[in-house]
Structure 1
Amino acid sequence: MRRLPQLTGACLLFLMNDVVLDLDNPKFAPKAMSRRFDALSFNAVTRLGQELYAEEPLLHLTRPDRAKRLAALILAKAPAINAAQFIATRFGGASQDVLVSYRQVDGVVMAQLSLRQDEGELDTLHTDSKVWRRLAA
């Protein structure tokens, strides 16, 4: 029987598309990020994410540190959000063509996703069925 990781206040997990990011590093702490980027609005952070994903549609896979910084900014501006999905609608498209969704995912579901990822079993279809529900017809 698989055991879920302990859910503690120190554990900061964030789902970026279909990858669970661990934001436990102090440099990603929402309060620290919030102070550093007070002038940025949530809409500006969303636009930044769209620009990043327009340039690099698989940012969460190819540049996980950038994805973590983006996740930390999102958390700093909207602490209830712990999942973001950025989908480039076409290769080489403009930032405004990147679709964005945000969710608040239950901690138990997030821990299950993290465990599946650690075991190499997390994929896009499973993440979609648990969180995004884009493929549900």
Structure 2
Amino acid sequence: MNDVVLDLEAPKFAPSSLSRRFEALSFEAVTRMGQELYAEDPLLHINQPGRARRLAALIRAKAPTLNAAQFVATRFGGAPHEVLVSFRQVASSVMDELFEAQDEGELDTLQTDRQVWRRLAA
């Protein structure tokens, strides 16, 4: 989620259990929920990692091939519809590399942008 690698392997974050529990929610509804959460707290993934992990688990339950999500508030105090959203499917080897860098305290936004979002690729 954004520039943090979240571990969703815990049983309570398993996509099958979440998909049964939240079947009525569409992918669009989950995306809107993410926009609302990030409009309230643009650093949700840092300030409230549990909420970010639950959001990521819902995204995964609705779109199992996606493993990267980015929510960017365009301005402080903006409306949910102003939060920009991107999703990606990233190779598991890249995710493993990012997780290892994070575990070692070496993951930063620039590295994440280059490897996941490819905006700042050299």
Distance in 2 (CA, whole Å) between partners of 1:93 and 1:50 is 10
Distance in 1 (CA, whole Å) between partners of 2:11 and 2:57 is 10
Q: Where in structure 2 are there 5+ consecutive unaligned residues?
A: none
CA displacement, residues 36-79 of structure 1 (integer Å, 9 cap, x when unaligned): 00000000000000000000000000000000000000000000
Distance in 1 (CA, whole Å) between partners of 2:119 and 2:85 is 12
More strand by share: 1
Q: Offset at 1:115?
A: 0.3
Alignment partner, residue 36 of structure 2: 51
Alignment partner, residue 126 of structure 1: 111
Distance in 1 (CA, whole Å) between partners of 2:99 and 2:81 is 30
Q: Where in structure 1 are there 5+ consecutive unaligned residues?
A: 1-15
Q: Normalising to structure 1: TM-score of the pair?
A: 0.87
Identity %: 73
More helix by share: 2
- 3-state SS of 1:116 partner: helix
**CA RMSD after TM alignment:** 1.0
Alignment partner, residue 99 of structure 1: 84
Distance in 2 (CA, whole Å) between partners of 1:90 and 1:110 is 29
Alignment partner, residue 60 of structure 1: 45
Distance in 1 (CA, whole Å) between partners of 2:52 and 2:39 is 13
Q: Tell me, yes or no, if structure 1 residue 88 matches structure 2 residue 80.
A: no
Distance in 2 (CA, whole Å) between partners of 1:118 and 1:50 is 27
Letter in 1 for 2:38: Y
Distance in 2 (CA, whole Å) between partners of 1:136 and 1:111 is 19
Equivalent residue pairs, number? 122
**Which runs of 4 or more aligned residues in structure 1 lie more than 6 Å from their structure 2 counterparts after TM superposition?**
none
Distance in 1 (CA, whole Å) between partners of 2:20 and 2:38 is 25
Distance in 1 (CA, whole Å) between partners of 2:86 and 2:119 is 10
